[in-house]
Amino acid sequence: MAEMHIQAKLVNLLKQDKIQLWNPPYTTENNQAGQQPLQQLAVNYAPIVCFSVSEVASALESIRSQAVKRGMGNKTYRETFVATLELLLPKDGKKDVKKKNYLETKLDVLAQDIMASKTNVQFFFSLSTLQAFKRFLFTEKRLDEQDVKNNSKIMVLRVSEPERKKQMAEEEEKKKTQDLSVQRTQKGFQILSERDGTDDPATTPFLEIADQKGNPLKIPHREKKALILAMGFHEKGRALMKRKQYDAALCHLLQADDQFGTCGSVLLSTVDNYAVLQLDIVWCYRALEALSCLDDGKQRLQRAEDCFLKCYGEEQQRLMQIKGNTGREEVLFLRLYLLQSLLAYLDGNEHQATQKLMRVEDLYGRLCLDPGKMTGLMGLGFSEQEARLGLRACHGNVDEAALHITHRRQEREEMKQQEREKRMRRMEGLATLRALGYSKRDAARALHQADGDMDRAYGILLESTQAESAAVTNHNTELPIDQSKVEQLLYLGFEPEAAEAALRLTGGDVQGATQLLLDNQGVLPPELLSPSPPSSLSEEPSTSSESAGRTRIHTRSGSQGEDPMDVDLVNEVLEDIPRHEEDYLDLTLEEESEVIAQMKSYLHRNCTPSS
């Protein structure tokens, strides 16, 4: 990491001074180093970067040679499609430890062909993959099929053939396990996202998107599905992070990031879920030592900081208004500033790294808890998690923390009681409306739209029935469809019946009909083809700024009586949803403490360079 740090600092200075090492006088016509100018540059920069002249000279030569090599390699690749790969050889296999090794090859060849052409090369894995953490290259696949590009770095391991086969098998098994975990997580939350509470929650679990106080948020169905998947992947990733399985965790967190990308920006700007996800992804980068993710990490931390600013307010006044305190959320800023300090150091910005670390140490001093106070609260019957969150919320005051925890327990119990009463009223309303002849699904939707008010739900169903009758009348007397519009849709590959039905549903709007058909893969479902208007019983797309701050998955669960495979999948994903709504704030700070010590050792290096 020190080598990366000194090179980053030198690159910044070279940019600042507009010095191009690949041009004269630093590089001669035969691409050799201009030793005297380079040595003078090392003498000038050594006191600035706080390294010896010899270390700076070595780093400058490394930067120069890499730039020359990359330039020549890029030209060769453009002209011949022969890529240049940097080989990271085992230390015992290198004559010169500091010398870089390169391999020129086309990328449409099998990895095993490259291995066969290189003596002592028995095994590869790539460091520049999409996920940026280590994975093996498979010998039977082409290099370009495994995301190997021009200028990729390839680590070479020399192992025996039996060991190679064993490592390959282990890697394949690991990848299969990770892929299976992602697939099961997605399937489980997809099942839950499709449930709208029509069935009795006592027998069929379903999820609601709720604010931190448990109040359900009304969100359009498509966005709600994406949000449930995003939050589900995030919770699974966090569960894996707790078990220190960072590579598997990152797979799930990146899936969560993709799903969040399909959610509305208005919602994401009022809750901190997206910001916390960005922190978790970069924390995994750190744990996996994925230094090639430096630029992506900086962008993610900036998004997290911007999101916190919108969500909490400049002075966290919005957070104070919602929660009454800011102590628990300070752990998020500690992790944010710590990661920013680390990335600033790796980027060569020692001043910024030091400034951020000072803020980290200030927060760490406030958030580290007295073990005696923790023991005292746990002796009163509170859990370790409750004690930690309570003390941070009350800035270390034991008496206030005990009152705070007791109050939060009462709030949660009241919430559960309200849920039980709401569920009972809902089941009674469903029974009444079904007795009046309405279907279970229509009755459930009407009750949902009416917030459980049976009289309002009945009125909604009456209006829907009247609208349906009017739609049937209009359907029987409607004008013929413009055949030129039908032909436009037929030209796009849609079937005649589906095209005509889509045009009727969209009032003859060709663009709207096209989008409707695309959304439904060209086959309109029966509920769209029925004359009942879809708007009468649809969910109202609204979110309340008063309930913003954080959304969470609110579980309504019980035993199930359905497909055993669905039961297993649902139960599996529900296990990773924390029962405490502030679980994401419950950091012990043990890992953070180790990184702080590491950063201090980097930054407190003796700044007395020797020649």
In the block, tokens 């030129």 appear at 484
pLDDT of residue 213: 63
The encoded tokens of residue 416 equal 């559960």
Model confidence pLDDT, tens digit, residues 416-433: 888 788 878 888 888 888
Query: What residue type is assigned to position 375 of the chain?
Result: T
The whole-angstrom distance between residue 262's C-alpha and the CA centroid of its chain comes to 12
pLDDT of residue 547: 41
The CA-based dihedral angle spanning residues 132, 136, 139, 142, taken in that order and rounded to the nearest 10 degrees = -10
pLDDT of residue 70: 83
100 three-class SS: coil
- Cα gap 98→116, rounded to integer Å: 26
Cis bond before residue 47 (omega within 30° of 0): no
pLDDT reading at 131 higher than 50: no
Contact 534, 524 (CB under 8 A): no
Model confidence pLDDT, tens digit, residues 275-302: 999 999 999 999 988 766 778 899 999 9
Angle between helices 246-260 and 161-194 (to 10 degrees): 40
Contact 251, 240 (CB under 8 A): no
pLDDT band at residue 271 under the 50/70/90 scheme = confident
- Cα gap 251→290, rounded to integer Å: 14
The pLDDT > 70 percentage for the chain reads 73
pLDDT of residue 361: 96
- Cα gap 75→278, rounded to integer Å: 37
The helix (H) or strand (E) run that includes residue 104 is strand 101-105
DSSP 331: H
- Cα gap 123→167, rounded to integer Å: 10
pLDDT reading at 260 higher than 70: yes
Contact 262, 297 (CB under 8 A): no
DSSP 212: T
- Cα gap 189→461, rounded to integer Å: 30
pLDDT of residue 404: 92
Q: How many residues does the chain have?
A: 611
DSSP 217: P
Q: Which of 577, 568, 579 has the alpha carbon at shortest distance from 187?
A: 568
The encoded tokens of residue 254 equal 């990146």
Query: What residue type is assigned to position 75 of the chain?
Result: K
pLDDT of residue 510: 80
The encoded tokens of residue 549 equal 């701050």
Task: Say which range, 20-29, 340-349, 356-365, 404-413, has the weakest mean pLDDT.
Answer: 20-29
Q: Edge-to-edge strands of the sheet including 83-88?
A: 101-105, 83-88, 153-157, 123-126, 135-136
pLDDT of residue 491: 67
- Cα gap 48→16, rounded to integer Å: 13
pLDDT of residue 424: 83
pLDDT of residue 116: 62
- Do the strands 101-105 and 83-88 form a parallel or antiparallel pair, or are they unpaired? antiparallel
Average pLDDT over residues 467-493: 67
pLDDT band at residue 50 under the 50/70/90 scheme = confident
Helices (H) and strands (E) in the chain, counts: 24, 7
Q: Which residues contact 324 (CB under 8 A, 6 or more apart)?
A: none
pLDDT of residue 554: 54
pLDDT band at residue 556 under the 50/70/90 scheme = low
- What are the helix (H) ranges across 313-383? 317-323, 330-346, 350-367, 371-379
Q: Which residues contact 527 (CB under 8 A, 6 or more apart)?
A: 534
pLDDT of residue 365: 93
Average pLDDT over residues 133-145: 68
The encoded tokens of residue 282 equal 């970069």
Q: C-alpha distances in angstroms, 335 versus 41, 73, 262, 344, 569?
A: 37, 40, 26, 14, 33
pLDDT of residue 269: 67
- Cα gap 448→224, rounded to integer Å: 15
DSSP secondary structure, 479-528, as one string = PPP-HHHHHHHHHTT--HHHHHHHHHHTTT-HHHHHHHHHHTTT---HHH
pLDDT band at residue 66 under the 50/70/90 scheme = confident
- Cα gap 311→316, rounded to integer Å: 8
The encoded tokens of residue 269 equal 């700007």
The encoded tokens of residue 491 equal 């030209």
